[in-house]
Amino acid sequence: MKVLERGDAVPHFAVTTLEGRPVRYADLWQRWNLVFAALPAEPGASDYVSELTARIPDFVELAAQLVLTRDTLPGLRSPGVLVADRWGEIVHVATASNTSDLPNAEALHEWLHWIETRCPECEGETR
């Protein structure tokens, strides 16, 4: 199985969030930026979940949806988190041996801010 990397496309998925809500990527694709976290059932995970959910209004302000799940996403180890733009391009992906080592909410917010302010035309000139 291929490990997801920056520049890859988010595989279309259907997961259940930690709150029990079903989420299909097809409903988010081309509408929302994405913060996706696959989290194991471990003691430190609840602190990480609290930190991220406290920032939901900030994520929404940057046109992003937060998906927290215990389900797997092909190519993303758990615990793992990725940030992708609304077209599904992964701009950041991180995995760790435990949840406390994943990027914090502020770092994920910075990636979302970068997505919303980047200049695709300028990026094309540097490639």
Residue 8 domain-assigned?
no
- Assess contact for 93 and 5: CB atoms under 8 A: yes
Residue 98 domain-assigned?
yes
Residue 56 domain-assigned?
yes
The encoded tokens of residue 101 equal 């080592």
Residue 4 domain-assigned?
no
The pLDDT score that the predictor gives to residue 1 is: 73
**Per-block mean pLDDT, blocks of 10 residues, the chain (127 long):** 94 97 97 97 90 97 98 96 98 96 98 90 59
Number of domains in the chain: 1
| Residue 76: domain span | 14-120
> Side-chain half-sphere of 14: how many Cα atoms within 13 Å?
1
